[in-house]
Amino acid sequence: MENMQKHTKFQRYVLPGLIFQSIVIAGGYGTGAELTEFFFPYGSLGGLLSMSLVTFGVWGLVCAVTFEFSRIFKTYEYKSLFRALLGRAWFLYEICYMALLLIVLAVVASSAGLNVKEVLGIHPWWGIGFMAVAVCFLVLKGTKAIETFLSYWSYVLYAVYILFLILCFTRFGGQISYQLHTVREIGSGWMMGGAKYAFYNLGIIPAVLFSTRDAQSRREAVCSGIIAGAVGIIPAILLFVAMTGFYPEITTVTVPINRIFRALQMPWLQAAFQIVLFGTLIETGAGFIKAVTDRFESPYVKSRREAPRWMRPTITVGCVSLGIVISSFGLTDLISKGYGTITWGFFVLYVIPILTVGVYQIARSSGKRKRAQSPARQIGQAVCREANCGHCSRR
């Protein structure tokens, strides 16, 4: 019984955060490319403040509100969530999400190919092919397999990232300390940079909603949202701190993490990191596509019908194939142009509605429950039932 309770608490509080972190990390974040694009323009210290204060704060707040909204209104996939928030305009979010999905899958494919080429010296298509097969396999295995793989792989990722940071401090501690404590550069606009990075990443929350079904109270939903913000940003902070030892040179490198490994001269650590990174690439692709399959399978689930067997494989293979085709545009251009454009779409269609309409609906729902459970109302209902007046039954 005790083990069951611990497992349940893990599912309620920690699992959504681990899945959020697993999906958000790959592509540019896992290779360091997103960090150079969004945070290093404000200097080493400015970038660190931007991600640790602004990005974490926005992620934690919006995740907490969204998880509580989903708990109250049972919106565990993005179509039902945005129907409740935007009404008939919900499809506008779907357009943005599909665009982000294809961009992210393209970034994942590009990252897989680039890393295989730089580390093993083989053709990038080997890495892209392996990634595609693994993503398809995981999505087709279903929710349980995705939750298990994403959560356990996060432990492996944290272990490797912490070891990586320790070794970087051992070798380049002087350079890192110089950037953070001596240069102390804080570029103007660092708060906006952290907010922009947070906003476009918040568009992935629908890929996490399936893991929030176990929350049974407001405390659990809100705490799991705050934990998700922290768990999601900590690996980025660890990687960013290590990268500061190579600033500003590292901002000109396509795959920044490989530049650090060349300086460390530890092939075994690079091999371990590449394995972990490949896992995160698979996690990100699987999580994004899972949200799409849930969206199309949801009507069948609600009507207690079985979805067509061809639906999930067709969606999965189609999304992966389109992402691979788009990946030919290049990793840097995808991040700087694609992500930057879509950021404001998520801000207008998701962040503003969930923090206004969403908060209002949560408060309104809570008020209704309190009135329904008030002692005076319960006594009045009891009197009506005793008198057989029929008033309560009509209501």
How far, in Å, are 70, 91, 92, 299, 323 from residue 98 at the CA level? 21, 10, 10, 19, 11
Whether 23 and 153 have beta carbons less than 8 Å apart is answered as no
For position 23, what pLDDT does the model report?
80
Say how far apart CA 259 and CA 262 lie, in whole Å: 5
Start-to-end CA distance of the chain, whole Å, equals 41
- Identify the band that residue 299 occupies on the pLDDT scale cut at 50, 70 and 90: confident
Query: What φ, ψ does residue 203 adopt, rounded to 5°?
Result: -65, -15
- Identify the band that residue 391 occupies on the pLDDT scale cut at 50, 70 and 90: very low
* Average pLDDT of span 338-353: 81
133 three-state secondary structure = helix
The pLDDT tens digits of the residues spanning 20-55 come to 888 887 655 677 888 888 898 888 888 999 999 999
Give the DSSP per-residue string, 267-284.
HHHHHHHHHHHHHHHHHH
- Identify the band that residue 371 occupies on the pLDDT scale cut at 50, 70 and 90: low
- 69 CB burial (10 A radius; 0-12, 13-18, 19+): buried
For position 369, what pLDDT does the model report?
65
Say how far apart CA 75 and CA 387 lie, in whole Å: 40
Say how far apart CA 29 and CA 369 lie, in whole Å: 42
- Identify the band that residue 67 occupies on the pLDDT scale cut at 50, 70 and 90: very high
Whether 249 and 109 have beta carbons less than 8 Å apart is answered as no
For position 4, what pLDDT does the model report?
44
Whether 345 and 96 have beta carbons less than 8 Å apart is answered as yes
Percent of the chain with pLDDT over 70: 85
Percent of the chain with pLDDT over 90: 21
**Structure-token pair, residue 69:** 């909204």
Residues contacting 132, CB < 8 A, separation 6+: 109, 320, 321, 324
Residue 333 pLDDT > 70, yes or no? no
For position 66, what pLDDT does the model report?
95
- Fold (CATH) for 2-364: Hydantoin permease (1.10.4160)
* Average pLDDT of span 68-90: 92
Residue 366 pLDDT > 70, yes or no? yes
Residue 308 pLDDT > 70, yes or no? yes
CA 159 to mean position of chain CA atoms: 19
The pLDDT tens digits of the residues spanning 170-188 come to 998 888 888 887 777 788 8
**Among 375, 5, 14, 6, which Cα is nearest to 230's?**
14
The pLDDT tens digits of the residues spanning 372-383 come to 655 555 544 444
Confidence (pTM): 0.82
Say how far apart CA 222 and CA 245 lie, in whole Å: 36
Domain range summary for the chain, segments of one domain joined by +: 2-364
Say how far apart CA 167 and CA 175 lie, in whole Å: 13
**Among 158, 155, 100, which Cα is nearest to 285's?**
100
**Among 193, 201, 191, which Cα is nearest to 346's?**
201
Residue 30, H or E segment = helix 28-31
**Structure-token pair, residue 107:** 């970034």
Report the chain's mean pLDDT, rounded to a whole number: 82
